[in-house]
């Protein structure tokens, strides 16, 4: 069963994947409990069971911590963490009874390493990673699996869909963090444009997980995901963040003119 949040997205899904004996579609807003329940009920009514749940829906805020509000944080977590967990709770009882089922959570490299201006997104993926790790132990005795597919940068237009808090909107972006956005936004866009991984190659990874008898909990899905995994594992902790900071374009001038810190010009 395919799902989409809005009427327009659902129409597109239905145009691309017409209804057939093996394919259906249903509206789903993962942040809405009633919608989650209705989508799972419709799937069970149509196909008899949910054998595999793929939690893919996600949003990404682009804002420094100081520019987020509680409401923004809740929105980020509602989609990327509470939503997937709610879906899991919805499908688990029948999977557990049948002793069959796979849960596939689309995580991110941001669930391994956090990036400036993406704290809230990272927090949501770290939360998903933590819950999935605990779930692995809980599901093993029932013969169920949970897998985190971890893409890095993907060649796609997804950067156009980023969410901004009121304070991080490009038109409001003056002040101490202006330089952060001016360097991070084009940097991320450039890395996505240069990325070799595509939505199709990630879908292939997901298919491989579906076909694997006992998939691993962690499945890095792009070359940079492997790179960041090994960096985190093997670089001494004292060095890791300093090395990554040095790789961020323009980061040496962040905060310039807005701090009285020694060695930096105050406003």
Helix crossing, 119-139 with 83-98: angle to 10°?
Answer: 10
Closer residue to ligand NAP, CB minimum distance, 83 or 101:
83
| Nearest residue (CB) to ligand NAP, 223 versus 239 | 223
Residue 190: CB atoms within 10 Å: 13
Provide the 3-class DSSP secondary structure of residue 114.
coil
The residue whose Cβ lies closest to ligand NAP is 58
What does the alpha-carbon distance between residue 60 and residue 117 come to, in Å, rounded to a whole number? Answer: 10
Min separation Cβ 151 and ligand NAP, Å: 4
DSSP class of 82? I
Q: Nearest approach, Cβ of 5 to ligand NAP (angstroms)?
A: 4
Residue pair 185/249 in contact (Cβ under 8 Å)? The answer is: no
Residues that bind ligand NAP in the complex, under the rule CB under 6 A: 4-6, 9, 28-31, 56-59, 79, 83, 106, 108, 151, 153-154, 156, 158, 161, 192
Q: Shortest approach of ligand NAP to residue 4 CB, angstroms?
A: 6
In the residue annotation, 121 being an active-site residue is answered as: yes
For ligand NAP, the closer of residues 7 and 236 by Cβ is 7
Residues with Cβ within 8 Å of 177's Cβ and at least 6 positions away in sequence, in order, are 64, 66, 67, 117, 168
Residue 68 phi, psi dihedral angles, 5° rounding: -90, 155
209 vs 254, which CB is nearer to ligand NAP? 209
3-state secondary structure of 117: coil
Closer CB to ligand NAP, residue 178 or residue 231?
231
Q: Note whether 81 and 124 are within 8 A (CB).
A: yes
Q: Which of 61, 81, 121, 126 is catalytic?
A: 121
CB of 213 to ligand NAP, least distance (A): 25
Half-sphere exposure of 200 (CA within 13 A, CB side): 1
Q: How far is the CB of 238 from ligand NAP (least distance, A)?
A: 28
Enzyme catalytic residues: 121
């Amino acid at each position: 069963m395919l799902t989409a949040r809005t009427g327009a997205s659902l129409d597109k899904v239905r145009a691309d994947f017409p209804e057939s004996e093996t394919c259906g579609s249903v509206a789903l807003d993962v942040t809405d409990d009633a919608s989650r329940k209705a989508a799972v009920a419709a799937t069970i009514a149509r196909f008899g069971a949910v054998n595999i749940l793929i939690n893919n829906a996600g949003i990404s805020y682009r804002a420094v911590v100081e520019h987020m509000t509680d409401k923004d944080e809740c929105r980020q977590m509602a989609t990327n963490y509470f939503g997937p967990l709610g879906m899991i709770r919805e499908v688990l009882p029948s999977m557990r009874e049948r002793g069959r089922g796979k849960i596939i959570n689309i995580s991110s490299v941001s669930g391994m390493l956090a990036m400036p201006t993406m704290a809230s997104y990272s927090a949501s993926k770290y939360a998903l990673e933590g819950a999935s790790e605990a779930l692995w132990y809980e599901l093993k005795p029932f013969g169920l699996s949970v897998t985190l597919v971890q893409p890095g940068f993907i060649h796609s237009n997804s950067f156009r869909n980023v969410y901004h808090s009121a304070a991080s909107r490009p038109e409001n972006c003056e002040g101490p963090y202006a330089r952060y956005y001016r360097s991070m936004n084009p940097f991320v866009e450039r890395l996505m444009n240069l990325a070799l991984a595509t939505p199709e190659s990630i879908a292939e990874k997901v298919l491989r997980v579906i076909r694997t008898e006992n998939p691993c909990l962690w499945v890095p899905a792009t070359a940079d995901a492997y790179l960041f995994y090994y960096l985190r594992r093997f670089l001494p902790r004292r060095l890791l963040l300093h090395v990554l900071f040095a790789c961020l374009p323009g980061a040496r001038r962040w905060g310039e003119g807005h701090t009285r810190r020694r060695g930096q010009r105050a406003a």
